[in-house]
Structure 1
Amino acid sequence: MDELSLKLNSSFAGKVVRKDLTQKLKQGANVPTYVLEYLLGMYCATDDEDGINEGVQRVKNILADNFVRPDEAEKIKSKIREMSRYTVIDKLTVKLNEKKDIYIAEFSNLGLKNIEISDKYVKDFEKLLGGGIWCIVKLQYFYDETAKDASPFLIDQVTPIQMPNMDMNEFIEGRKQFDKEEWIDVLIRSIGMEPTQLTYEVKWHMLLRMVPLCENNYNMCELGPRGTGKSHLYKEISPNSILVSGGQTTVANLFYNMGRRTMGLVGLWDTVAFDEVAGITFKDKDGIQIMKDYMASGSFARGKEEKAASASMVFVGNINQSVDVLLKTSHLFEPFPEAMAYDSAFFDRMHFYLPGWEIPKMRPEFFTDNYGFITDYLAEFLREMRKTTFGDATDKYFRFGNNLNQRDVIAVRKTVSGLTKLLYPHGEFSKEDIEEILRYALVGRRRVKEQLKKIGGMEFYDVHFSYIDNETMQEEFISVPEQGSGSLIPEGAMKAGQIYTVGVGDSGMLGVYKLETEVVNGSGKFESTGLGNNRNAKESIKTACSYFKANCKNISASISTTSKDYLMHIQDVNGVGMTSSLSLAAIIAMCSGALNKPVQSQCAVLGAVSIGGTINKVEDLASTLQVCFDAGAKKVLIPMVNAADIATVPPELFAKFQIMFYSHAEDAVFKALGVN
C-alpha cells in the first residue's frame, strides 16, 4: 500500500476497498460497480492479503451461485423449485396492479414477472417503482393447484444493495486527517481512477462530474470525444442516479404519470442523466417546455397541481468535430437535437458546461489499483450532503462583477456549493481554497454564456465574468480557454500599416480581420495576399486601391502611388471566412504605411467605402461592437450613418469604448491615425 492508502485504511477502516479487486471481478460479472463493491465491502474489508484473497473467493462464489445471468435464468428457476428456497442477486422493478390492488415485481435477468411483493418494501424503497434497484432477494417456491393465476414464486425477503446508514460525524472527522490534494486523490480513486496519471485540471473535471450527485437541482452538460467516461459515473458508480440511454422518454416517465398519479424519475432519483443528447426526444409536444420549467425552478405543473423534485439533470454526448471547427462554424451546444439546438432559454438553465475534450480517453493505466471508498459509502456521503448548502461560501471574501445576471449568480453559487461539499464537507477552508473553486465555477458558466451569445445574440452580450475581492476591491476577470485570451487587438502601438476591422465572414458569422501593409520603393504596384478565392473580398481591396490612388493627395502630399509598392496581407483572425467589408480598413492601412504613422492603440475600424466615396452602413451594430470588445478594442471608428443605431447598443457595452464617428474616408483616416 502507498502512503495515501495506509492513511485511508487508518481513518476509514472497513469503509474502503482495493479498486483492482473491483476491476478483476467486473470482467467476469456484468453487474454495476456498486453491487460488486457492496459484496467486497462485506467480505474484503481488511488489509490482510490472505483475508482479502479469501473474501474475493467468497464474493466470486456468491456471484457464481446467486447472481442471475440472463442465459442461465431457467437453470436458476429450476434451482428455486428443487430447493424450495434460494437467494438471487438481480435488478428488481415494481409496478402497481390497480385491478388487483397489489404491487407486482419483475426480475430483470431472471425474467420473472407479476410476482407479488409486500407493500412494506415498496414504502421503504420507493426506487423500486422508478427504474428498479439491484437487490439480494430470498425467493421461495410453492405451487398451488387451486390458484391458477398466482405465480408459484414468492418473495420472502428483499435487501437493497445499499448501505443501511451513514455516520456523517465519523466521515467529517476522517476528512480532517487529509489535506486538500490528498482528499482530491481519495475522491478520484473512489470512482476507480488513478490521480497520479491525471493532470490537476482533469482531476477537477472528474470532481465536477460528482456535483450533480451532491447538489440538488443541478443542471450540467458534458460534451466531448467518445471514450472519456462521460456516463460511467451515473451508470456504474452511484446507485442514486439513473442513466436514460438513447435519450427517448416521456413526460409521464420523467416527471409525473397523471393516470397512475405517481412521480416520475425526477422524484425517485438524485440524478437523471441523459446519454447521447443528440437522441433526446419526447413523445409529448410539451416535454421540452416542462423540462425547461423544472430546470429553472425545481418544480413543474401537471394537471391541476404543481410538483416539486430535487433531482439534478445531466446531459452527456459526443462532439464529432474538433472544438476549433465547431467554434468557428457553429456553437458548442450543436450536438443537441434540433428542437433544443437553438433554444437559448433551455441552455440558459445550464449551470455548468464541462469541457469533455479536455479529458483524455480512458486507458488501462488510468484505472487505479489502490484503495478508495466503497462506492456505496461514497454515494451515501454524496446523498447526505444534498441536505446542506455552501452557496454562500464566497460571500465572506468575494462578490460578483456586474456582468453576471441572476441566473449566472445562481449557477455559480450552485457549482461553488457542490465542489465545497466534496472538498470541504467539514466547512473548513481558506480564502485561497474558495477562490480556486469560484474561478472554476465562473469558467464553466461563462462557457455556457459564450454559446448563448452565439445562439441568442445581444440578449447575452454580458459574458465578461469577474469577481471582486472584498478587501482590496481588485476585480479579476475570467476567460474561457477555448475562446482565447480576448486580446486579439494588442495593447500599445502597432507597426505602421497595421489595422483591425470587424465584418461578416463567408460563414455568416462576425469575425476580426487584421490588415498588414508594407510600403517599399517600387513602381506603384498594389499586391494583396490572404484573400483566397473570395471574389467579393478581392473587389473590396480593388475598390480601396482605386480610391487610394485617386484621393491620397487629399490626405498628404507626401504620399506617392508611383514610386512606392504597396504589399498587403489580410488575415482572418477568427477563421470565420473572408469578409467583403475591407475597403475602408485597407485605405487606412495604406495611408498608415505610406506616412509611416501607426494607427491609434487598440483601435478597430468599422464600415466600408464605395469607389465613389459613399460610406456603407454597419449592419447589426450592437453585435459588431460586442465582437470588438471581445477582441480587446478600446477605440472604435463608426460611420456617421450609424449614429441612429446607438440606441440598439446596451449602455454598458457602449460605455466600454472611445467612439469616433466619421463622415467620409479621409475623415476616418485622420481619426484612425490620431491626426487633428
Structure 2
Amino acid sequence: MTALDDKINERFPGLVVRKDLVKAVKGNAIVPSYVLEFLLGQYCATNDEASIQSGIETVKEILRKHYVHRNEAGLIRSNIREKGRWKVIDKISVDLNTDKDAYEATFSNLGIKNVIIDSGTVKAHPKLLVSGVWCIADVEYEHSEDKNVSPWVLSSIKPIQLSKFDYDAYLEARRGFTTDEWIDLLFQTVGFDPEMFGRRSKLLQLMRLVPFVERNYNLIELGPKGTGKSHIFSEFSPHGILISGGEVTVPKLFVNNSSGKIGLVGYWDVAAFDEFAGRQKRVDKALVDIMKNYMANKSFSRGVETLGAEASMVFVGNTKHTVPYMLKHTDLFEELPEKYYDSAFIDRLHTYVPGWEIDVIRGEMFASGYGFVVDYLAEILRHMRNDDYSNRYQGLFSLSSDISTRDRDGVNKTFSGMMKLLFPSDNATETEVEEMLHLAMEGRKRVKDQLLRIDSTYPETDFSFTARDGRKIIATTLEEAEYPQYYHKRAARLEEPETSVKPASDAAGMPAAEVKAKPMDPREGHRVFSENQKGVTFADLFWPWIEGATKIVVTDPYIRMFHQVRNVMEFIEMIAVRKAPEDEITVHLITCADETYPEKQQSNLAAVETAGAAAGIKFTWEFDATNTIHARHIVSDTGWKISLDRGLDIFQKFEMNDAFSLANRLQIYRQVKAFEVTYLRAAAN
C-alpha cells in the first residue's frame, strides 16, 4: 500500500479495486475486465486484506458456478433442465422475430437462441440489439410439446453496468488530489504501473480515453505492435466496441436501408477499428464516403432521411517501418488502407497519437495498486460527454489566427477531453492549461503536417498560441525535433531524388548508430530535450567538450541504485572507446552515500573502478561528508563545465536484463526523460 493507495481508498470508498486482482480471478474465463471488476467492485472494493481475500474467493465461486465456458455449455444447459432455473454470466444479443412479432435472445457462450425476452427489457437496454451486452441472467427451462415453442425462458436479466453514481461527490473527491496523483490514479485504473512511465507517456496513453468523454471525436493511433493500443477499447468500458480486423459493412456500422435498423454508431459511445492499418486491405468505397460525411457532420443518410449519432471513431493499427524511414520515404499515414489514404478522410481526424512513443508492454508494467472500478469511471466519462470544456483556455491563451476552423475544432475537442479527464472540477493552473493546450495542438499538427506531404493544396499553418503576457508558444511534434532533415516536406517535393549521407564510424570503431555524421563543435550554450525523445547518447552530450581531457570530475548526488551506477559505467565506456589507447584519464565521482544499501553501492562502484582500469581510465570516488549536495555537473581540465539538471540519469526505464534488446545495448534506442544541459567555459585546472 502506497500513500496514494491510502488516499484513493479514503476518497473513493467502495469504488476502487486493487488492479492485480483481475488476474487473480480471471483464470481461463474469456471475459472483459469491466465484467470482472463489476464483480470485484461488489466484493473487494476495500483495502482490508482479509475482506479482499474473502471477496476473491466469492468472485471465483460466482465465476465457477455461473460464467459459461463454451466447452462446458452442454453441462450448464443440462443443469438448467434438471434444476429448472440457473443464473448465468454470458454475452446476450437480441433480435426481432417479425414472424412471431417477438424479441428473441441469443446467449453467446451458452449456445441457446430463440429465447423470448419482453419488449420492456429491450427498450431499457437497447444495446442488446447491437452486438450484445454482458449480463447476469436467470434462465429457466420449460418443456413444451409444441416444437415451435422454445423451452428456454429468460426470467430476469441484469446488464453488467453501474446503475447509479454521485457526480458531485466525484468532483469533490478530485479536489483532494494533486495533478500528478490524479494522473497516477487514472493510469492505475487503466491497468498500468505509473512508476514505469514518464509524465508524457502517461498523458499520451490517457488520450485514448478522450473518445469516451467527447462526442463525435475522431482519433487515430498508429505504432509498433504490442503497445496496448486496442486494450482500452476492448476491456475498459461497456460503452465502447472494438471491431476486430478493421473491416465492417455500411449496414453494420451505420444503417441497413432494407430493414431500417441503425448500426453501431447509434448505440455505442465509441466505435474502435482494430488492426486498421494495411495498405492492401479491401475496403468498400461507399463505407469510406459515408464515414467521411459522418466524421465531418455527425450524420449519415438513410435513403432520403438524414440521421445523427454521437459515437466517436477510433482507428488503431500497426506500422511496419520506423518513424525516420516513414518521414524520409513516405509519411506517417503510409499504412492506411488505400481507400482511407485520402486527404479528405485524414483531415477529419482530430488527433494522431504517436504510438511509437509508447513502449512495448512488459509484464512488470502492469499495476498492482488501486484504481477505479472501471465501470464506475466509464459512467463518469459518459456523463461528462454532455459538458464542453473547450473554452477553459480562453482568457489565458489565444490560438493563432492562422489556424483554420477544422484545425481549431480538432484542438478544442482534444483539449476539452483532456481537461475533463484531468481537471473535471476546473482546478488547473495556467501552466497545466498550457500543457494540455500544447498536447492538443501537437496531436492536430501531426495530422496537418502529414497532409502537407500528401496533398499540395493544403496551406502551411502556424500552430502556435499566445499567452496573455504576450509570450508566443509554438507547438512542435517530437518527431519534428528528432528528424528535422526529413520532417518538413511538401507534396510537390516528394518526387525529388534523395541524397543520402552515410553515418561514419569513428577511429575507435564505435557502431555507426552511436556516432553523429557531423559531431557537434564544443561551444557554450543550452540544450533542451523532450520526454520520450530518442537518439540521445552520452557521446553526443559530452564527448566534444571533454575530448583531450586528462582529468574529469563528475558531481552527482544520486549515484546510488544499480541503474545510476550503470550510467557511470556507460560514461566510462563512452570515454574508453573514444580516447587513444595510449592515453590515461582520471575520472573522479563526487556523490552521496546510500543510507539504505551502502555496501551494495560501494561494491558496484568498485566494479566500475576495475572495469575502467583495463582501458587506462582511473576511476575514483568520494562521498560528500554533509550528504547535502544538489548540483549535478561535469568539469574537465579542457576548460569546460557541463551543467546537468538530471545528472547522468537521463534515460527512462528499459529492460536491462534483455541481452537482445537494442535499448539495453545502445543508448540511441532509448527514450529519455525531459532534461536540460548547459555548457559553460570554466577555468582550466
Q: Same fold (TM over 0.5)?
A: yes
Q: Deviations over 1:481-508 (max 9, x none)?
A: 112379769xxxxxxxxxxx99998x72
Q: Provide the alpha-carbon RMSD of the alignment.
A: 2.1
Residue aligning to 1:466 = 464
Unaligned runs of 5+ in 1: 490-500, 515-676
1:257: Cα distance to partner?
A: 1.8
Q: Is the 8 A contact 1:452 1:460 kept in 2?
A: yes
Q: Is the 8 A contact 1:103 1:117 kept in 2?
A: yes
AA of the residue aligned to 1:167: D
AA of the residue aligned to 2:165: M
Partners of 2:416 and 2:366 lie apart in 1 by: 28
Other structure's SS at 1:211 match: helix
Partners of 1:477 and 1:53 lie apart in 2 by: 52
Partners of 1:113 and 1:283 lie apart in 2 by: 32
1:40: Cα distance to partner?
A: 0.5
Q: Is the 8 A contact 1:89 1:135 kept in 2?
A: yes
Partners of 2:232 and 2:101 lie apart in 1 by: 37
User: Structure 1 residues 487, 245: closer, same or farther in 2, change over 3 A?
Assistant: closer
AA of the residue aligned to 2:12: F
Residue aligning to 1:616 = none
Residue aligning to 1:208 = 207
Residue aligning to 1:617 = none
Partners of 1:319 and 1:192 lie apart in 2 by: 24
Q: Is the 8 A contact 1:86 1:138 kept in 2?
A: yes
Q: Deviations over 1:67-93 (max 9, x none)?
A: 000000101000000000100000001
User: Structure 1 residues 169, 504: closer, same or farther in 2, change over 3 A?
Assistant: closer
Q: Is the 8 A contact 1:502 1:511 kept in 2?
A: no
Partners of 1:407 and 1:510 lie apart in 2 by: 33
Partners of 2:55 and 2:65 lie apart in 1 by: 15
Q: Deviations over 1:68-126 (max 9, x none)?
A: 00000101000000000100000001111122111111111111111111111110111
AA of the residue aligned to 1:227: G
Residue aligning to 1:135 = 135
User: Structure 1 residues 81, 486: closer, same or farther in 2, change over 3 A?
Assistant: closer
1:392: Cα distance to partner?
A: 1.0
Partners of 1:175 and 1:225 lie apart in 2 by: 34
Partners of 2:412 and 2:499 lie apart in 1 by: 34
Partners of 1:503 and 1:69 lie apart in 2 by: 54
Q: Deviations over 1:27-56 (max 9, x none)?
A: 432110000000001111222211111110
Partners of 1:203 and 1:193 lie apart in 2 by: 9
Other structure's SS at 1:338 match: coil
Residue aligning to 1:230 = 229
Residue aligning to 1:643 = none
Partners of 1:133 and 1:371 lie apart in 2 by: 26
Other structure's SS at 1:278 match: coil
User: Structure 1 residues 508, 148: closer, same or farther in 2, change over 3 A?
Assistant: same
User: Structure 1 residues 2, 100: closer, same or farther in 2, change over 3 A?
Assistant: same
1:509: Cα distance to partner?
A: 4.3
Residue aligning to 1:429 = 428
* Structure-2-length-normalised TM-score: 0.70
Q: Is the 8 A contact 2:240 2:270 kept in 1?
A: yes
Name the count of aligned residue pairs: 498
1:478: Cα distance to partner?
A: 1.3
Mark the structure with the bigger radius of gyration: 1
Q: Is the 8 A contact 2:453 2:491 kept in 1?
A: no
Partners of 1:86 and 1:509 lie apart in 2 by: 70
1:144-223 aligned within 5 A: 144-145=144-145, 147-223=146-222
1:460: Cα distance to partner?
A: 2.1
1:148: Cα distance to partner?
A: 1.3
AA of the residue aligned to 2:465: Y
1:296-307 aligned within 5 A: 296-307=296-307
Unaligned runs of 5+ in 2: 502-685
Residue aligning to 1:121 = 121
Percent same amino acid among aligned pairs?
44
Q: Deviations over 1:532-578 (max 9, x none)?
A: xxxxxxxxxxxxxxxxxxxxxxxxxxxxxxxxxxxxxxxxxxxxxxx
Other structure's SS at 2:385 match: helix
Residue aligning to 1:419 = 418
Partners of 1:27 and 1:155 lie apart in 2 by: 28
User: Structure 1 residues 405, 149: closer, same or farther in 2, change over 3 A?
Assistant: same
Q: Deviations over 1:218-258 (max 9, x none)?
A: 00000001000000000011111000101121111101122
Q: Is the 8 A contact 1:246 1:279 kept in 2?
A: no
Q: Deviations over 1:583-628 (max 9, x none)?
A: xxxxxxxxxxxxxxxxxxxxxxxxxxxxxxxxxxxxxxxxxxxxxx
Residue aligning to 1:293 = 293
1:635-674 aligned within 5 A: none
AA of the residue aligned to 2:213: C
Q: Is the 8 A contact 1:404 1:462 kept in 2?
A: no
AA of the residue aligned to 1:464: D
Residue aligning to 2:478 = 481
Partners of 1:428 and 1:13 lie apart in 2 by: 23
AA of the residue aligned to 1:430: T
User: Structure 1 residues 509, 175: closer, same or farther in 2, change over 3 A?
Assistant: farther
Q: Deviations over 1:425-451 (max 9, x none)?
A: 112222211111000011111000111
User: Structure 1 residues 246, 357: closer, same or farther in 2, change over 3 A?
Assistant: same
Partners of 1:509 and 1:198 lie apart in 2 by: 40
Residue aligning to 2:563 = none
1:396: Cα distance to partner?
A: 1.5
AA of the residue aligned to 1:323: V
Residue aligning to 1:369 = 368
Q: Deviations over 1:160-205 (max 9, x none)?
A: 0000012101111111110100000000000111111111111011
Q: Is the 8 A contact 1:221 1:315 kept in 2?
A: yes
